[in-house]
Chain A
């Protein structure tokens, strides 16, 4: 069969404020093959795919299809060029019917430029029949399961008769049986001559379907080879071969008794999670996207329901139904999503800090302004917040300073257990170091820290133990001597299970 290069990207660069997301990317896919992309969270795979799909524009570089230079300005144009993409996170409209969703943005029109519903029905039925699927065209998407919808997305990509199909972790939401159906489809597509780009973290899958494998790291292509000349161990070590650096202000504090322990915790997106945190300890949580780390923390913090299992503080069973309970138990959480769950953008630094513990400043039923401002000042100094004044709106501060304000807001509640979720995400390098320093100060003060992070060097540099999660379960807990990026990645990709 003809295995000419179908899609080639040359010298692609893309920067976001503060980060170089893609650095001189060279990459190509041949007809009738599956090219797998792998790499850690934030390595740049999804950014590249979004550029190919016209969602982002590259800062520089070229995209060639069949050797012809093309500019892809938006997804509609991408589709016209024969590119379709199956997203990792499903964005669907629950009230839409199956047939509507198949043709959204691509409606067949009749001669009066009216949407031709009869044609849509006809084509949908034909497609469902040819794929041997038992759905009704007028079923609403909200009545389907997530994996049904994922299958539909795949079907949709196929229905466009695209020659370039991008699949961004398509198996993260579907069952094993459907994975087999998907793989069968992929082989059919290959036989038809389609070029497939497949993003995945799952090593067994990757080695089943890949023809070629490209590893991304820190916005660069690290290596690109035919599958035959790679093995799982090599791929893992390529993914993580990141410079560790010794510049973490890690302090060694005597480890005390367990403060928080969690036994057999189950929730919507995780099951059977057990671990404990000791006084003076920083315990890390590693895992790939969707491993359920944040979800576990949200449940412990009272933001999401707990189905079963228990949480103990100092050996005593505690019930956490909401955030207030958690704060009362002296467990607090710095969110990974500052905009959504962190800041009150239109309010001042002062109000953002004192909001968690206003009770402290109440005297005779009235907020005591002087005490409040003194406390705010104290914690701002402690967290080294740089702000023109305490009355400045928090939204006008830099990301790093906002993060420090949020740390201050939790510190004011005098916590014992401090959960920090991606504490340095979206923060410049200088501020990162300060955040690490503050986390070290916390344990020096006798608190314990749970640090969820996707940055392995940060976990290895700061933690005393690291819990690795995959698919909502703990895959292993690494002691300090076993800290290597390979060990973590092996557990996170579910390659081996050691406990």
Chain B
């Protein structure tokens, strides 16, 4: 067993592509397990279902690579979404409504960034505080009441373009933006550098605080868009909506190989992670797995992903004692 594990550790294949093998295997197994799984209708349905969580997951990916995270994304999503719906109801303009959603989420994330950079609050605490505040603000603004009769606003979440559901278009767009930022920009490189070694990054001339702030702002844009899509999909402004979505997003990112130690992660990995969760949820429903058991399985998957991350990917070189 031990020798086998050692061999696994050494094989590069496992390290680089394992997540896509898992996705493929899960797809094939699901296909065999239930004939309804691999139908266009079902797959399209899965994509639509995971869109909101996955958009949040791309924001999380950017933050986690940089050594941070966002616990507030579910709450900020609700606040931005509710205000966006309200703006639509009041102005009748989809553009204004969309813009309001993004502006609100960006503002919340600007505050997150400010707490983290200026006041050196750990991101966990800063965004935990924002999680409570944003949810409270959403409930306060709506007095705890859902906003209904949202008319054409449903186009963001329920419409289709060229036969593809709109949320999936948004998902693809944000995936491409994330991929591009991470792969082809100075900002992306700086994210990895800071997550990998913040002090060395500073000593390499990177403005660490500015990159962190940018990461939060971009996360804000994603959360805002997710808010609009979410409210549109559920046919209303729900101040109590999307509770716990930050954890869905974190799950997808972590299963996708984003390392909580920072400096490691990719957009495609996160997408794969999101689909693994999406396929799993879907097939468990299709084959009729007990819903409590589903939760256990979901939890176990996270544990496995993290164990895998720590056990297989960390270089086992321990710190040598310094001489003096």
Q: Which residues of A contact B (CB under 8 A)?
A: 16-17, 19, 21, 41-42, 46-47, 56, 301, 303, 322-324, 326-327, 333, 335, 339-347, 351, 354-356, 358-359, 362, 365-367, 393, 395-396, 409
Please tell me if the beta carbons of B200 and A347 are within 8 angstroms of each other in the complex.
no
Taken residue by residue from 160 to 184, chain B's Cβ proximity to chain A (1 for < 8 Å, 0 otherwise) reads as 0000000000000000000000011
A396 surroundings in chain B (CB, below 8 A):
315
Spot the interface stretch: B88-96, B149-157, B228-236, B316-324: B316-324
- Complex: A365 Cα to B203 Cα, angstroms: 24
Further contacts, 12 of them, CB under 8 A, given A323-B203, A324-B207: A56-B321, A323-B202, A340-B200, A342-B203, A344-B193, A344-B263, A345-B315, A347-B192, A347-B263, A351-B192, A355-B189, A367-B185
**Min distance, Cβ A424 to any Cβ of chain B, angstroms:** 13
**Min distance, Cβ B77 to any Cβ of chain A, angstroms:** 29
Query: B196 at interface (Cβ–Cβ under 8 A)?
Result: yes
B259 surroundings in chain A (CB, below 8 A):
346
11 contacts between A and B (CB under 8 A): A16-B321, A17-B320, A21-B323, A323-B204, A324-B205, A340-B199, A340-B200, A344-B200, A347-B196, A351-B193, A366-B185
- Complex: A340 Cα to B192 Cα, angstroms: 16
Please tell me if the beta carbons of A41 and B324 are within 8 angstroms of each other in the complex.
yes
B192 surroundings in chain A (CB, below 8 A):
344, 347, 351
Q: How many residues of B contact A (CB 8 A)?
A: 31
**Min distance, Cβ B143 to any Cβ of chain A, angstroms:** 44
- Complex: A366 Cα to B182 Cα, angstroms: 11
Q: Which residues of B contact A (CB under 8 A)?
A: 183-186, 189-190, 192-193, 196-197, 199-207, 259, 261-264, 315, 317, 319-321, 323-324
- Complex: A100 Cα to B112 Cα, angstroms: 37
Residue of B nearest to A323 (CB): B205
- Complex: A342 Cα to B190 Cα, angstroms: 15
B205 surroundings in chain A (CB, below 8 A):
322-324, 326-327, 356
From the candidates B186, B317, B324, name the one contacting A362 in the complex (CB within 8 A).
B186
**Min distance, Cβ B309 to any Cβ of chain A, angstroms:** 12
**Min distance, Cβ A299 to any Cβ of chain B, angstroms:** 13
- Complex: A42 Cα to B322 Cα, angstroms: 10
Residue of B nearest to A410 (CB): B204
- Complex: A16 Cα to B263 Cα, angstroms: 30
**Min distance, Cβ B36 to any Cβ of chain A, angstroms:** 42
Residue of A nearest to B321 (CB): A16
Number of A-B contacts (CB under 8 A): 91
- Complex: A386 Cα to B135 Cα, angstroms: 54
* A395-B317 contact in complex given A323-B202, A347-B263, C-beta closer than 8 Å: yes
Please tell me if the beta carbons of B196 and A345 are within 8 angstroms of each other in the complex.
yes
B323 surroundings in chain A (CB, below 8 A):
16, 19, 21, 42, 47
Most buried by B among A16, A46, A358, A362: A358
**Min distance, Cβ B218 to any Cβ of chain A, angstroms:** 15
- Complex: A396 Cα to B313 Cα, angstroms: 12
B189 surroundings in chain A (CB, below 8 A):
351, 354-355, 358, 367
Please tell me if the beta carbons of B199 and A341 are within 8 angstroms of each other in the complex.
yes
A367 surroundings in chain B (CB, below 8 A):
183-186, 189
- Complex: A333 Cα to B184 Cα, angstroms: 27
A342 surroundings in chain B (CB, below 8 A):
200, 203
* A355-B315 contact in complex given A46-B324, A47-B323, A47-B324, C-beta closer than 8 Å: no
Most buried by A among B186, B202, B323: B323
- Complex: A429 Cα to B120 Cα, angstroms: 42
From the candidates B183, B197, B207, B324, name the one contacting A343 in the complex (CB within 8 A).
B197
- Complex: A327 Cα to B207 Cα, angstroms: 13
- Complex: A366 Cα to B189 Cα, angstroms: 12
**Min distance, Cβ B313 to any Cβ of chain A, angstroms:** 9
A42 surroundings in chain B (CB, below 8 A):
323-324
Most buried by B among A42, A323, A409: A323
B263 surroundings in chain A (CB, below 8 A):
344-347
A16 surroundings in chain B (CB, below 8 A):
320-321, 323
- Complex: A359 Cα to B204 Cα, angstroms: 13
A354 surroundings in chain B (CB, below 8 A):
189
B184 surroundings in chain A (CB, below 8 A):
366-367
Please tell me if the beta carbons of B321 and A365 are within 8 angstroms of each other in the complex.
no
Please tell me if the beta carbons of B196 and A346 are within 8 angstroms of each other in the complex.
yes
Residue of A nearest to B196 (CB): A344
Please tell me if the beta carbons of B186 and A358 are within 8 angstroms of each other in the complex.
yes
- Complex: A342 Cα to B184 Cα, angstroms: 23
- Complex: A339 Cα to B207 Cα, angstroms: 20
B320 surroundings in chain A (CB, below 8 A):
16-17
- Complex: A249 Cα to B196 Cα, angstroms: 35
B315 surroundings in chain A (CB, below 8 A):
345, 393, 395-396
Most buried by A among B185, B189, B192, B201: B189
Residue of B nearest to A41 (CB): B324
Residue of B nearest to A302 (CB): B205
Please tell me if the beta carbons of B324 and A355 are within 8 angstroms of each other in the complex.
no
- Complex: A336 Cα to B323 Cα, angstroms: 14
Residue of A nearest to B195 (CB): A346
